[in-house]
């Protein structure tokens, strides 16, 4: 079997996505493990290549079968939708619509099995909304495009993986939404992904909602026993090595030193904060539960530095490595 094909979406054209893609695709070790196909606007990608003084040549294709995946070149499936005079670092509905079109095309190709994984460049939620695409972010957009009822967001960093029971909703709404079945499904999705990536019996620790895990009723209104414990017990009954609910402050310390393979966070900031403290440059976002493999950088469009050749591409490199690790291999033409 040969190298998988990974579709890389350009993200918001006014942000750092085009730059970091060009930089990342100069990595020969990465290119030796997978075939990379950029889905974006060719003119914008060429502008980014000029800005970073890339030695690579961009090559236009209209479908994956036309890509050659040759050393020294970047195959770009051109979706011509970005104005030539689009400014770097400025909110633009045109850029927001473009980021939607790139994702839409990548999902279509992945669902048709023409590519084996998707790795997404950063989009800007305000630009996406300005273009009429009312999604909180990539995760919800991908769920909609793939017809998936429920997915989970997993963030990874050196020494830590965190999957979220809830994400882009307010804290009060998150607590109301959490229940044993949702906690169980989140644990199960994380368990299955880690098994796919080669961890035979992952150790999964589940965060409490309240300080000190409620301290036997001293804090909160019994959420741990009512909303979390039943999900853990259901997972344990299936042989999943799940622990908790545990106080989040202690749990993240233990996870950081290697006691657990995965942390289940109950809400957005509970999980995001510890991961981002470990370093945005190495963070990766994985959407768990989709019918396709999808990874992403764990940072935004960085409008303040876009177009200046100072953006760090390490998070994208790590996201691409993880996409390759999760993607199935496919036959390669001789």
pLDDT in tens, 201-244: 999 999 999 999 877 777 888 899 999 999 999 999 999 999 99
Cα-trace Rg, the chain: 20
- The whole-angstrom separation of Cα 115 and Cα 108 is 9
3-state secondary structure of 108: helix
- Report which of 332, 324, 217, 306 is spatially closest to residue 17, judged by C-alpha positions: 306
Instruction: Give the sheet arrangement for strand 294-297, strand by strand.
Output: 57-61, 73-78, 35-40, 5-9, 117-120, 294-297, 284-288, 152-157, 160-164, 262-265, 203-207, 241-246
Do domains 1-149+290-334 and 159-278 share one topology? The answer is yes
The residue-averaged pLDDT of 308-319 equals 93
**What CA–CA distance (Å, rounded) separates 196 from 176?**
32
Q: What percent helix, strand, coil does the chain show, rounded to 5?
A: 40, 20, 40
What is the four-CA torsion angle of 280, 191, 321, 97, rounded to 10 degrees?
Answer: -70
pLDDT level of residue 263 (50, 70, 90 thresholds): very high
Q: Measured at the alpha carbon of residue 284, what is the angle toward residues 201 and 45, in degrees to the nearest 5?
A: 145
Domain spans, the chain? 1-149+290-334, 159-278
pLDDT of residue 281: 64
Query: Is 159-278 assigned to CATH 3.40.718.10?
Result: yes
Q: How many CB atoms lie within 10 A of CB 224?
A: 27
Q: Name, in order, each residue with C-beta under 8 angstroms of 32's C-beta and a sequence gap of 6 or more.
A: 3
Residue 330's pLDDT is 72
Q: Who has greater pLDDT, 52 or 1? A: 52
Could you give the 3-state DSSP secondary structure of residue 329?
coil
Q: Over the chain, what is the mean pLDDT?
A: 93
Token pair listed for 331:
């036959």
Tokens linked to 229: 């414990």
Spatial distance between the Cα atoms of 328 and 149, rounded to a whole number of angstroms? 23
Instruction: Provide the Cα torsion 135, 138, 143, 146; round to 10°.
Output: 110
Can you give the pLDDT at residue 34?
Answer: 94
Q: Write the pLDDT tens digit of every residue in 123-138.
A: 999 999 999 999 887 8
Q: Please report the pLDDT score of residue 334 as a whole number.
A: 45
pLDDT for 163-205, tens place per residue? Answer: 999 998 999 999 999 999 999 999 999 999 898 878 899 999 9
- Contact call for residues 117 and 327 (beta carbons, < 8 A): yes
Lowest mean pLDDT among 3-7, 29-33, 188-192, 215-219: 215-219
Residue 80 phi, psi dihedral angles, 5° rounding? -80, 95
Q: Which residue has the higher pLDDT, 159 or 108?
A: 108
Q: Does 1-149+290-334 carry CATH code 1.25.40.10?
A: no
Per-residue pLDDT tens over the stretch 36-89: 999 999 999 999 999 999 999 999 999 999 999 999 999 999 999 999 999 999
Return the H-helix or E-strand segment holding 48.
Answer: helix 42-51
Contact 127, 99 (CB under 8 A): yes
Q: Is the pLDDT of residue 332 over 80?
A: no
Q: Say what the pLDDT of residue 16 is.
A: 97
| CB burial string 53-81: b at 16+ within 10 A, e below | ebeeebbebeebeebebeeeebbbbbbeb
């Amino acid at each position: 079997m040969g190298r998988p094909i990974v579709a890389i979406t350009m993200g918001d054209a006014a942000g750092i996505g085009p730059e970091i893609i060009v930089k990342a695709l100069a990595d020969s070790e990465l290119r030796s493990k997978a075939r990379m196909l950029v889905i974006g606007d060719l003119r914008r990608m060429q502008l980014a290549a000029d800005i970073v003084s890339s030695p690579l040549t961009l090559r236009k294709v209209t479908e994956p079968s036309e890509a050659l995946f040759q050393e020294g070149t970047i195959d770009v499936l051109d979706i011509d939708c970005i104005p030539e005079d689009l400014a770097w670092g400025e909110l633009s509905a045109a850029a927001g619509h473009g980021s939607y079109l790139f994702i839409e095309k990548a999902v279509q190709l992945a669902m048709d099995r023409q590519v084996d994984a998707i790795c997404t460049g950063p989009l800007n939620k305000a630009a996406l909304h300005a273009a009429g695409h009312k999604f909180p972010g990539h995760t919800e957009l991908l769920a909609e495009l793939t017809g998936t009822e429920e997915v989970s967001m997993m963030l990874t960093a050196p020494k830590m993986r965190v999957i979220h029971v809830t994400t882009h909703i307010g804290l009060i709404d998150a607590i109301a939404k959490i229940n044993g079945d949702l906690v169980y499904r989140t644990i199960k999705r994380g368990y299955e992904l880690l098994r796919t990536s080669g961890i035979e019996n992952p150790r999964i620790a589940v965060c409490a909602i309240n300080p000190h895990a409620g301290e036997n009723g001293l804090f909160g209104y019994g959420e741990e026993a009512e909303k979390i414990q039943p999900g853990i017990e259901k997972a344990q009954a299936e042989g999943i090595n799940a622990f908790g609910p545990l106080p989040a402050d202690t749990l993240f310390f233990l996870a950081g030193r290697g006691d657990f393979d995965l942390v289940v966070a109950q809400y957005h900031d509970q999980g995001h904060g510890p991961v981002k403290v470990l370093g945005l440059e190495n963070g990766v976002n994985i959407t768990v539960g989709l019918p396709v493999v999808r990874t992403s950088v764990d940072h935004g469009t960085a409008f303040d530095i876009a177009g200046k050749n100072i953006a760090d591409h390490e998070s994208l490199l790590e996201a691409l490595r993880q996409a390759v690790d999760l993607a199935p291999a496919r036959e390669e033409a001789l």
